[in-house]
């Protein structure tokens, strides 16, 4: 079933572009978004919701964190992302105007299943984004939007992540449509960006060979830090989680803006730091801020591996390595930036001689709380 691939994870990373493409199929037409799956929620209800709470665990939660930036910007609805097990055991403020969105590849994660039941008992409508037909979470939800990533076998979630982000971006554009917060032109522009992702993702994956060499060179590394800002922040978290679970290396993801508030104390000569660099075309002007973060850590001896937009000349003088990603609108770039981090974690685990598909102590679906 692995085909010619060395592991399921390698195969599944190669399927990331297809996972996005298949998740979009039949859900857009003429530059508009059509999500029949959301009909059970009712457009009137969706037009009236005043808050979204995303519940998920692990990588699925990072997909939610990333989608928050797009959904808030497009629909103007506040979005909170909560780990399912934290949400469930306190007294969250939920009303009938709260839309809860659960995200789960397996549809069997007990923490998320319990949180979904709890949300509905508390009066919220629940939309679930799920990759597994016939699983438990969809059965407990008011509406389900399936990701079409295909079966994911490796414990590390890769193609499901990019499919989850694509599905959530569709939900964001649907909400912007029913609430009138984006005009048809803007929706069409974003739909086009989504449809461009598979090809760009395939290019990103093809050009990631350099990461293989880097991973070999780094097989003895004890600690890796990941910095990202804005949409790069959830990607930094995802990069760190993958390295922990696959290569058993201490890894932390930080918001780059936090650096001076503590984490910079960790920087000593030789510390490897991945930095997800925002696009220089970003209207928020975050690019120079992150480049200056790179200068600060470089000055303290860090080895910097930057994931940056192709042609970003400002990064080269300061980074030890630059992994280029194709141009995309700022909200879409992180869907490209994540693939090199998936590849790197897999290659580092392989370089250490570890089982890439079945890391120690972990199960593909966590069916106990
Ligand atoms: O099946 P789910 O999406 O609900 O799983 C959630 C997490 O357990 C999962 O994403 C986990 O963090 C992965 N092993 C990360 O690669």
Read off the tokens for 181. Answer: 């917060």
Residue 74 CB coordination number (10 Å) = 23
Q: Determine the average pLDDT of the residues in 189-215.
A: 94
CA–centroid distance, 365 to ligand 1, in Å, is: 7
In this structure, the residues whose C-beta lies within 6 A of any atom of ligand 1 are 57-60, 104-106, 109, 112, 155-157, 241, 245, 365-366
pLDDT tens, position by position, 275-322: 999 999 888 899 999 999 999 999 999 999 999 999 999 999 999 999
Q: Determine the average pLDDT of the residues in 3-16.
A: 95
CA–centroid distance, 157 to ligand 1, in Å, is: 6
**DSSP states along 88-131:** HTS-----TTEEEEEEESSS--HHHHHHHHHHHHTT-EEEEEES
Q: Quick one: pLDDT band at residue 13, thresholds 50, 70, 90? A: very high
Q: Which atom of ligand 1 is nearest to the CA of 364?
A: 14
Provide ipTM, 2 decimals: 0.98
B/e letters for 298-312, b = 16+ CB within 10 Å, e = fewer, are beeebbbbbbbbeeb
Q: Determine the average pLDDT of the residues in 203-211.
A: 89
Rounded Cα–Cα distance for residues 256 and 235 (Å): 12
Q: Taking the complete model, does pTM exceed 0.80, yes or no?
A: yes
Q: Which atom of ligand 1 is nearest to the CA of 105?
A: 3
What is the predicted pLDDT for the residue at 80? 97
What is the predicted pLDDT for the residue at 326? 97
The answer to whether the CB of 122 falls within 8 A of the CB of 147 is no
Q: Quick one: pLDDT band at residue 23, thresholds 50, 70, 90? A: very high
- Judge whether residue 354 has pLDDT over 90: yes
Mean pLDDT over the full length of the chain:
95
In this structure, the residue with its CA closest to atom 8 of ligand 1 is 58
Mutation pick for ligand 1 pocket among 57, 112, 369 (CB with most ligand atoms within 8 Å)? 57
Q: Determine the average pLDDT of the residues in 222-236.
A: 97
CA–centroid distance, 82 to ligand 1, in Å, is: 14
CA atoms in the 13 A half-sphere facing the CB of 130: 26
What SS3 class is residue 268? coil
Q: Determine the average pLDDT of the residues in 190-201.
A: 98
CA–centroid distance, 91 to ligand 1, in Å, is: 25
Read off the tokens for 18. Answer: 């297809």
Q: Determine the average pLDDT of the residues in 344-352.
A: 96
Rounded Cα–Cα distance for residues 339 and 336 (Å): 6
Rounded Cα–Cα distance for residues 139 and 329 (Å): 36
In this structure, the residue with its CA closest to atom 14 of ligand 1 is 156
Residue with the bigger pLDDT between 58 and 362: it is 58
Q: Which atom of ligand 1 is nearest to the CA of 156?
A: 16
């Amino acid at each position: 079933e692995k085909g010619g691939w060395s592991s399921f994870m390698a195969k599944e990373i190669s399927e990331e572009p297809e996972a996005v493409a298949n998740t979009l199929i039949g859900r857009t037409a003429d530059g508009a978004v059509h999500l029949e799956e959301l009909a059970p929620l009712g457009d009137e209800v969706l037009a009236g919701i005043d808050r979204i709470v995303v519940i998920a665990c692990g990588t699925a939660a990072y997909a939610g964190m990333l989608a928050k930036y797009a959904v808030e910007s497009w629909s103007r609805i506040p979005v909170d992302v909560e780990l399912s097990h934290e949400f469930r055991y306190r007294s969250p403020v939920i009303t009938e105007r709260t839309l809860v969105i659960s995200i789960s590849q397996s549809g069997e994660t007990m923490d998320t299943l319990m949180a979904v039941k709890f949300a509905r008992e508390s009066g919220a409508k629940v939309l679930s984004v799920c990759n597994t037909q016939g699983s438990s979470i969809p059965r407990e939800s008011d509406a389900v939007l399936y990701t079409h990533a295909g079966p994911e076998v490796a414990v590390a979630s890769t193609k499901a992540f990019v499919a989850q982000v694509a599905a959530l971006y569709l939900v964001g554009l649907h909400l912007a449509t029913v609430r009138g917060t984006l005009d048809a032109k803007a929706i069409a522009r974003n739909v086009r960006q989504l449809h461009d992702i598979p090809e760009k993702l395939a290019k990103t994956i093809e050009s990631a060979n350099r990461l293989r060499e880097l991973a070999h060179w780094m097989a003895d590394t004890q600690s890796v830090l990941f910095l990202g800002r804005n949409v790069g922040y959830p990607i930094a978290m995802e990069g760190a989680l993958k390295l922990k679970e696959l290569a058993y290396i201490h890894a932390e993801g930080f918001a780059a803006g936090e650096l001076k508030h503590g984490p910079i104390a960790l920087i000593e000569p030789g510390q490897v730091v991945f930095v997800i660099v925002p696009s220089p075309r970003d209207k928020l002007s975050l690019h120079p801020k992150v480049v200056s973060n790179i200068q600060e850590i470089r000055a303290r001896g860090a080895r910097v591996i930057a994931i940056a937009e192709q042609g970003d000349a400002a990064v080269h003088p300061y980074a030890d390595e630059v992994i280029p990603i194709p141009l995309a609108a700022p909200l879409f770039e992180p869907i490209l930036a994540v693939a090199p981090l998936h590849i790197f974690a897999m290659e580092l685990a392989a370089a250490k001689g570890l089982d890439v598909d079945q890391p120690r102590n972990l199960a593909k679906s966590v069916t106990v709380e």
